[in-house]
C-alpha cells in the first residue's frame, strides 16, 4: 500500500461527525496532522488576504478553519487520556510542536486581529447580539494574551516559550502516569490484607492477574495494591497494617520526584517560563495573566475569598484532628499520641463508621452503576425536562465498556448525545474524572445557504471500580458524587441554546465559573427522593434503609473543616507559586509550600512529601493560578442550590419551575454573557458565601 492511499483513507481527516474510533490507529496521527496543517496553512493565508471585518467575512470562516483542527487534534488528545500507549505518545510528541506553532500563528495573525478590532469599531457592531459581541471581545483579548502585540525578538521568544511549555507540561503528565504505574505492592499473606474490604481484595487479585499471576483469587491472593485511586484510596482507609499504609502513602506522595521521572526540574522550568511569558505581555506575574480571562477581578479578590474560607475552616479542622486523636486513643491505638499522615484516613474512616455506624463499603451494593444512571437521568428529567435513553449502537467506541446515550427535549426530539467511559484502566487511562467536548453545538450554514443546528456530543470519563467477579460496577458514594459532578459539566455542554460555536456550552465561559453546574449537581446526591430513588441493593432490589440515608446526611459534613482546608492549601500554594514566587531565588518551591502549610495544614508536611511533583492540575492541566476556581465556583453552586432549597425540594412543581430557570440561564446561555450576569439572571442577586458555609456545616 503506498503512503498516499494511507493518507487519503486516514480516519483522522474526516473532519466532522462522530470519530470512527475502531478505525483510528496511532500511525494515522503523524500523516493526518501533517496533511491537515499544510491545508490549514493555505486556508489561513487566503483568509488573511480576503478577510472582511464582518461576522460572515471573519468569524464564520475562522470557525470553520479552527474546527477542522480541533476535530482531529481533539480526538488525539482524547485518546491520550483514555487509550494511552507508547505508540500514541510518540506520535503525539512528534506533531505537538507543529500544532502549537499553528495555533500560535492563528492567534497571532495581525490581519485577523485588525479585522476583529475593525468589526468592534464598525457600524455593524450594534447589529450583533450579546453572544457575538462576547466572542469578538474574547478574540481580541485572547490575541492580546497570545502575544499579538509583540514583534521581532519578543515575539520569537514568546513563541519559543509556548512550544517549550506545551512540551514540558505534557512530559509532566506522562511522568505522573508512569510513576503511578511503576509502583505496586504485592501482598501474599492473609495477615497483610487484614482490614481490606472484599471490593478491594477482588480488585487487587484482578490487578495481580493482569500483572501475570494468573491464579490470583480474591480469597487466596496474591493481591496487588497500586497507586491508582480505586486501589490506593481504600487501602489507606482500611488496611490495619500501619507499616504498609506508611509504605504506600509515602510512595504516593513521592510520585515523580526522583530518578528519570523527577518532575522537580520541570516545575522550576514551567514556573520560570510562565513568569517570563507574563512579563512579555506586560503583567507583573503569571497569576495576573491567568486572571485576565477569569471571573475573579484580581489576585487580591481571590486571596480575600480564600482567606475568608480559611478562617471559617481552620479552627474546625484543628478540633476535628483533636477528636480523631482522642478517638484513636479510646481504641487503644499506640500511635494515638502521634498520628501521622498515613493514619488520618484510616482513623477517620473508623471514627466515621462508629459515629455514623456505617462504612463506605457497606453502601456499595446499593449503588450499581446502571441503577445510579437511572436515578441521575430521572432527576435530570424532573429538573430540566429532558429524557435520556441508551443509543449504544449509534456510535463507534474506543473500548468495549464505553456507552453512548441520547438526550431528547420535551417534544421527544434529540438535542444532544454523550459517551460514558466509567471504569478505571490504569495501564492506559489517566486517573481522575473529566468531561470533554467531542462536538460542540453550532449553526451550520451549508453551501446552498440552508441552516441546520449541529447537535452537541460530550465525553464523560470516570475512573470507578470496574465490574469484578460477575458483579456489576458497585460504586462508593464518592464515585456517585463524581458521576453527578461530571454530568453537570455535560449538561452545560449539551443543553446550551447558543448557536455560535465560540460561546456555546462551556466555550467562552470563564474558567472560575465553569465548575458551577458540576458542583451544583453534587448536591442532589443528598436529596432524599433522588438518593432513595436510585439506591437499591443490586441482588435483592431492597431500597437503601432510611437509617443509612440519615447517616449519609449526618456524615456529609464529617471532617468538612479538614476537607475545605486541604483545597484551600492547594489553592493558596498555586496562587503563591504563580504570583510572588521567584524561580531560582532564595526560597524553593518546597519552602513556599511549607510556609503556606503553617496556616493551611494541621500536620506539618513530611520531608519526603513531593506532592507538587504530581500536581497535574496546575502543571499539566488548565488550573495554573486557577485552582482557586473550585472554591470560587463552589460559592456560586451552593448559592444556586440554595434557590432550590428555598423553593422547596419536595415540591415537584416548584422544582420544575426553578429547574427551568436554571436551564434557561446557567445551562443555556453558555459563554454568551458574563458569568456574573448569568448568575444574577438565575438568582436575582450577586452570590453569597453563606450557603457554602452552611452546606459545609461551617457557618458561624
Q: Tell me which residues are annotated as active site.
A: 486
Burial class, 413, CB count within 10 angstroms (exposed 0-12 / middle 13-18 / buried 19+): exposed
End-to-end CA distance of the chain: 73
Please tell me what DSSP assigns to residue 366: G
Residue 659 corresponds to which cell in the numbers above?
429547574
| Residues 465 and 202 sit within 8 Å (Cβ to Cβ) | no
Determine the angle formed by the axes of helices 264-280 and 589-600, rounding to 10 degrees.
Answer: 90
Burial 604-624 (b: 16+ CB within 10 A, else e): ebeeebbbbbbbbbbbbbebb
| Residues 480 and 367 sit within 8 Å (Cβ to Cβ) | yes
Residue 551 corresponds to which cell in the numbers above?
447517616
Rounded Cα–Cα distance for residues 151 and 158 (Å): 10
Q: How far is CA 586 from the centre of its chain?
A: 34
Residue 585 corresponds to which cell in the numbers above?
531565588
Rounded Cα–Cα distance for residues 48 and 115 (Å): 9
Residue 620 corresponds to which cell in the numbers above?
499539566
Determine the angle formed by the axes of helices 629-647 and 560-579, rounding to 10 degrees.
Answer: 140
Q: At 405, is the secondary structure helix, strand, or coil? A: strand
Count of C-beta atoms within a 10 Å radius of residue 657: 12
Please tell me what DSSP assigns to residue 515: T
Radius of gyration of the chain (CA): 26
Rounded Cα–Cα distance for residues 453 and 391 (Å): 20
What 3 state SS string does 119-131 have?
Answer: HHHCHHHHHCCHH
Count of C-beta atoms within a 10 Å radius of residue 50: 10
| Residue showing cell 480523631 | 324
Residue 403: name the closest of 459, 455, 456, 364 by CA.
459
Provide the sign of the torsion angle of the four alpha carbons 69, 70, 75, 77, taken in this order: positive
Amino acid at each position: 500500500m503506498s503512503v498516499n492511499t494511507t493518507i487519503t483513507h486516514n480516519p483522522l481527516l474526516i473532519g466532522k461527525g462522530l470519530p470512527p474510533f475502531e478505525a483510528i490507529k496511532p500511525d494515522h496521527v503523524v500523516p493526518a496532522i501533517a496533511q491537515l496543517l499544510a491545508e490549514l496553512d493555505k486556508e489561513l493565508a487566503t483568509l488573511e488576504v480576503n478577510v472582511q471585518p464582518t461576522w460572515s467575512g471573519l468569524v464564520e470562516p475562522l470557525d470553520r478553519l479552527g474546527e477542522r483542527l480541533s476535530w482531529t487534534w481533539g480526538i488525539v488528545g482524547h485518546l491520550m487520556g483514555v487509550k494511552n500507549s507508547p505508540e500514541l505518545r510518540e506520535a503525539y510528541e512528534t506533531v505537538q510542536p507543529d500544532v502549537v506553532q499553528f495555533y500560535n500563528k492563528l492567534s497571532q495573525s495581525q490581519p485577523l486581529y485588525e479585522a476583529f478590532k475593525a468589526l468592534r469599531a464598525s457600524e455593524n457592531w450594534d447589529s450583533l447580539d450579546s453572544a457575538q459581541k462576547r466572542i469578538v471581545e474574547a478574540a481580541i483579548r485572547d490575541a492580546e494574551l497570545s502575544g499579538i502585540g509583540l514583534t521581532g525578538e519578543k515575539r520569537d521568544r514568546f513563541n519559543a516559550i509556548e512550544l517549550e511549555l506545551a512540551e514540558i507540561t505534557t512530559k509532566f503528565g506522562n511522568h505522573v502516569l508512569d510513576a503511578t504505574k511503576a509502583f505496586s505492592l504485592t501482598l501474599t499473606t492473609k495477615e497483610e490484607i487484614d482490614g481490606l474490604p472484599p471490593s478491594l481484595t477482588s480488585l487487587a487479585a484482578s490487578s495481580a492477574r493482569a500483572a501475570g499471576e494468573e491464579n490470583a483469587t480474591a480469597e487466596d491472593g496474591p493481591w496487588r495494591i497500586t497507586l491508582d485511586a480505586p486501589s490506593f484510596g481504600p487501602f489507606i482507609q482500611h488496611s490495619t497494617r500501619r507499616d504498609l499504609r506508611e509504605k504506600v502513602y509515602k510512595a504516593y506522595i513521592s510520585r515523580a520526584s526522583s530518578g528519570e521521572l523527577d518532575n522537580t526540574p520541570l516545575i522550576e522550568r514551567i514556573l520560570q517560563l510562565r513568569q517570563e511569558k507574563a512579563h512579555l505581555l506586560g503583567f507583573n506575574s503569571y497569576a495576573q495573566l491567568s486572571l485576565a480571562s477569569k471571573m475573579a477581578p484580581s489576585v487580591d479578590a481571590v486571596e480575600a475569598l480564600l482567606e475568608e474560607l480559611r478562617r471559617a475552616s481552620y479552627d474546625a479542622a484543628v478540633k476535628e484532628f483533636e477528636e480523631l486523636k482522642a478517638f484513636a486513643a479510646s481504641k487503644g491505638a499506640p500511635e494515638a499520641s502521634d498520628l501521622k499522615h498515613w493514619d488520618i484516613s484510616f482513623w477517620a474512616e473508623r471514627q466515621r463508621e462508629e459515629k455514623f455506624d456505617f462504612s463506605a463499603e457497606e453502601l456499595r451494593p446499593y449503588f450499581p452503576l446502571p441503577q445510579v444512571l437511572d436515578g441521575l437521568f430521572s432527576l435530570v428529567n424532573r429538573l430540566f425536562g429532558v429524557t435520556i435513553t441508551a443509543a449504544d449502537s449509534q456510535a463507534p467506541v474506543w473500548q468495549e465498556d464505553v456507552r453512548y446515550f441520547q438526550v431528547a427535549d420535551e417534544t421527544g426530539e434529540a438535542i444532544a448525545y454523550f459517551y460514558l467511559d466509567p471504569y478505571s484502566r490504569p495501564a492506559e487511562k489517566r486517573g481522575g474524572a473529566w468531561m470533554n467536548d467531542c462536538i460542540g453545538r453550532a449553526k451550520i450554514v451549508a453551501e446552498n445557504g440552508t441552516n441546520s443546528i449541529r447537535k452537541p456530543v460530550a465525553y464523560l470519563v470516570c475512573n470507578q471500580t470496574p465490574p469484578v467477579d460477575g458483579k456489576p460496577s458497585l460504586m462508593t458514594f464518592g464515585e456517585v458524587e463524581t458521576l453527578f459532578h461530571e454530568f453537570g459539566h455535560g449538561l452545560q455542554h449539551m443543553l446550551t441554546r447558543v448557536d455560535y460555536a465560540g460561546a456555546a456550552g462551556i466555550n467562552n465561559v470563564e474558567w472560575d465559573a465553569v465548575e458551577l453546574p458540576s458542583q451544583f449537581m453534587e448536591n442532589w446526591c443528598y436529596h432524599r427522593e433522588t438518593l432513595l430513588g436510585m439506591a437499591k441493593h443490586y441482588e435483592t432490589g431492597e431500597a437503601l434503609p432510611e437509617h443509612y440515608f440519615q447517616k449519609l446526611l449526618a456524615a456529609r459534613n464529617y471532617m468538612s473543616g479538614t476537607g475545605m482546608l486541604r483545597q484551600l492549601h492547594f489553592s493558596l500554594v498555586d496562587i503563591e507559586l504563580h504570583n510572588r514566587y521567584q524561580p531560582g531565588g532564595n526560597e524553593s518551591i518546597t519552602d513556599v509550600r511549607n510556609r503556606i502549610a503553617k496556616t493551611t495544614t494541621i500536620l506539618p508536611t513530611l520531608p519526603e512529601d513531593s506532592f507538587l511533583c504530581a500536581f497535574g492540575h496546575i502543571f499539566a492541566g488548565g488550573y495554573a493560578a486557577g485552582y482557586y476556581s473550585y472554591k470560587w465556583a463552589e460559592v456560586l453552586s451552593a448559592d444556586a442550590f440554595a434557590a432550590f432549597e428555598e423553593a422547596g425540594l419536595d415540591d415537584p412543581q416548584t422544582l420544575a419551575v426553578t429547574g427551568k430557570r436554571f436551564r434557561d440561564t446557567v445551562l443555556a446561555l453558555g459563554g454568551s454573557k458574563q458569568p456574573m450576569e448569568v448568575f444574577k439572571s438565575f438568582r436575582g442577586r450577586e452570590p453569597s458565601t453563606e450557603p457554602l458555609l452552611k452546606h459545609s456545616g461551617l457557618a458561624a
